[in-house]
Chain A
């Protein structure tokens, strides 16, 4: 079934369609939340809340406004950021940018290979520069705008777009290997 059709059924409160979407995206959404709250238990909990929120507000999604993944990603980011603010984490976006994602990746990289989680990770990150990881984390996981990324990484605004593209392309190449 096409994604659009699944989403449409999901919006009509079809739990089977919802399950499909959950299976497609829950790992990723939980991962993104984890990079922000930096606590796996809390991340799992928020992740479920995010999917429930999506279920309840399914009618507010409109395909013309973006990808379904992008929509739920946005809900997830907001929920995660709300969480760390309510827990009186240091809450500026600057502090959010602490390179936790990079840290997780590195720690996973250093793990003994052979564990299921890390399969493909090395491959994925092959030749991926640190500045790529940073820009991807800020744009996709932290929800920074181009302007904010440009300020954060101290690079020209126009560079954000092109660098991001080349970084994503690198991951795509790695995936294709």
Chain B
């Protein structure tokens, strides 16, 4: 680079005046770093501007004034800082206390909710059990209903006999499927060690054939018992027999009897 030409262009005077663009400023700065004569020229220009501006100076208040102002600002700055710190500290404590209280409250609420949930889920289990039971019961009832509504069913009412005149029962006889459902709702609970036994009867001559026992009579809720009946029954009878049943009916303990009409 021709530094003389560069210097003569007058760009350095403008550099000192501060009227160049940022890029031009950077360029001059780099050239001044590179070429000592450019740096020297800049310093000389600055010196002449300084000497000129110095001539119109009204004088200065001196650096003592500046020193005081710095000290003052420093002091007020520290004060501000102190105040700021304590103020933020108070605020911080207040916020953390509120936060703590909130946390405790939330914790309590949470515990309450957890125990509520436990209670509810227990209730829920119970209710589900009940529903399941009900469903099973319903299913059984529906099954029963379907069974007794079957068109092949013959209903045989069994009336109370001498031993127990108020007793009654009904036999739902599905000849097609060779099954009989005994509705024993109207029979009293059998005494301990005894069981009801159902008999299929041929009337002429009187020939009883055991169809089975009404086992677990007390435990059975709907008191409907399904029994197989391959016989050409003309009547049905229910007797009270010792536990395990008997080979032949004890007719003295005949509770109910009914004749199949068809």
Interface, chain A (partner B; CB < 8 A): 15, 18-19, 22-23, 25-32, 34-35, 40-41, 43-45, 47-48, 51-52, 55, 63-67, 69-71, 73-74, 101, 104-105, 108, 117-118, 120-121, 124, 136, 139-141, 143-146, 161-162, 164-165, 168, 171-172, 175
Contacts and interface: CB of A to CB of B under 8 A. Distances in A.
Interface string B17-30: 11110100110011
Nearest to B22: A65
B6 to A, nearest CB: 12
Contact of A140 (B10, B17, B60): B17
29 contacts: A22-B66, A27-B53, A27-B57, A28-B57, A32-B56, A40-B58, A41-B58, A45-B61, A48-B66, A55-B66, A65-B22, A66-B18, A67-B15, A69-B49, A70-B17, A70-B18, A104-B55, A105-B55, A105-B56, A120-B51, A139-B14, A140-B16, A143-B18, A161-B9, A161-B11, A165-B9, A168-B13, A171-B51, A172-B44
B48 interface: yes
Given A124-B55, A164-B13, 13 more contacts: A28-B49, A28-B50, A28-B53, A29-B53, A30-B57, A44-B59, A64-B30, A66-B20, A67-B46, A69-B16, A69-B50, A139-B13, A172-B48
Contacts of B59: 27, 30, 40, 44
Contacts of B56: 31-32, 34-35, 101, 104-105, 108
Size bracket of the B interface: 35 or more
Given A22-B66, A64-B25, A66-B29, A136 B52 contact: yes
B151 interface: no
A25 B50 contact: yes
A52 B66 contact: yes
Chain A facing B: main interface SS: helix
B52 A27 contact: no
